[in-house]
């Protein structure tokens, strides 16, 4: 045990605890209080496992992701969100007499509103947990990230809570979006290209 790394006491996560208990059933060589609950504070330097051995055990028990299934779910849900957006745009064009270009901005606004409402009700996160990137890539995912941050920080107040933390998840999207728009704008200006489609 002298060659073990000096690991300070910390709370085990549910996954760490499960992996260690499973490993204990297969191999003798370290002691872990079996009555400890997940989250209990356990001195990790009492375990006769090196960090490399623990990583190996954790990799053996790590569930393998279903890549094709996840891609299919993301495709279906992301496509459904786009289909809803197209339907909303068509409604604006039919009943408000807008052109396709004019209807695009209010369509995005309605999709954002729907996303914020579903996030506030706790529905969007459940859909996102199942669909993955299918809900994160459309503009609804951007709205969800901002709304989630605002909801989590509301107890700290409007300024230091909601205002300061609203862009924690979505800030990178805003930064890279502005930078990309600037670069494209410079390219258009240098080469004399006209904007619009």
Q: Which of 11-20, 33-42, 127-136, 143-152 is predicted least confidently? A: 33-42
Write out pLDDT tens, residues 44-70: 444 556 778 778 877 777 788 889 999
Q: With 60 as the cut, is the pLDDT of residue 145 above it?
A: yes
Write out pLDDT tens, residues 63-112: 888 899 999 999 999 999 999 999 999 999 999 999 999 999 999 999 99
Is residue 19 a contact partner of residue 55, using CB atoms and an 8 Å limit? no
Q: With 50 as the cut, is the pLDDT of residue 2 above it?
A: no
Is residue 153 a contact partner of residue 164, using CB atoms and an 8 Å limit? yes
pLDDT confidence bin for 22, thresholds 50/70/90: low
- Residue of 122, 120, 90 lying closest to 104 (CA atoms): 90
Q: What is the pLDDT of residue 103?
A: 95
Find the distance separating the first CA and the last CA of the chain, reported in whole Å.
Answer: 69
User: Which element (helix H / strand E) includes 61?
Assistant: helix 51-61
Average pLDDT over residues 16-37: 56
Average predicted confidence (pLDDT) for the chain: 79
- State the Cα–Cα distance between residues 12 and 36, nearest whole angstrom: 10
Evaluated on CA atoms 8, 9, 14, 19, the torsion sign reads positive
Tokens of 157: 């107040």
pLDDT confidence bin for 11, thresholds 50/70/90: low
pLDDT confidence bin for 1, thresholds 50/70/90: very low
Q: What is the pLDDT of residue 44?
A: 47
Write out pLDDT tens, residues 172-183: 888 898 999 999
């Amino acid at each position: 045990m002298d060659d073990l790394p000096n690991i300070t006491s910390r709370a085990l996560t549910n996954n760490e605890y499960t992996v260690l208990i499973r490993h204990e059933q297969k191999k003798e060589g370290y002691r872990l209080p079996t009555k400890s609950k997940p989250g209990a504070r356990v001195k990790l330097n009492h375990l006769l496992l090196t960090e490399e051995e623990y990583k190996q055990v954790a990799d053996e028990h790590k569930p393998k992701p279903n890549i094709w299934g996840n891609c299919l779910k993301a495709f279906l849900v992301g496509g459904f969100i786009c289909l809803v957006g197209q339907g909303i745009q068509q409604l604006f064009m039919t009943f408000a007499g807008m052109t396709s270009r004019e209807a695009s901005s209010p369509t995005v606004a309605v999709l954002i509103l729907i996303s914020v409402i579903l996030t506030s009700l706790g529905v969007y996160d459940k859909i996102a947990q199942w669909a993955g990137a299918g809900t994160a890539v459309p503009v609804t995912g951007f709205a969800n990230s901002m709304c989630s941050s605002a909801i989590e920080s509301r107890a700290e107040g409007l300024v230091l809570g909601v205002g300061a933390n609203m862009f924690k998840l979505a800030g990178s999207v805003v930064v890279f979006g502005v930078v990309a728009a600037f670069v494209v704008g410079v390219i258009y200006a240098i080469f004399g290209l006209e904007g619009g489609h």
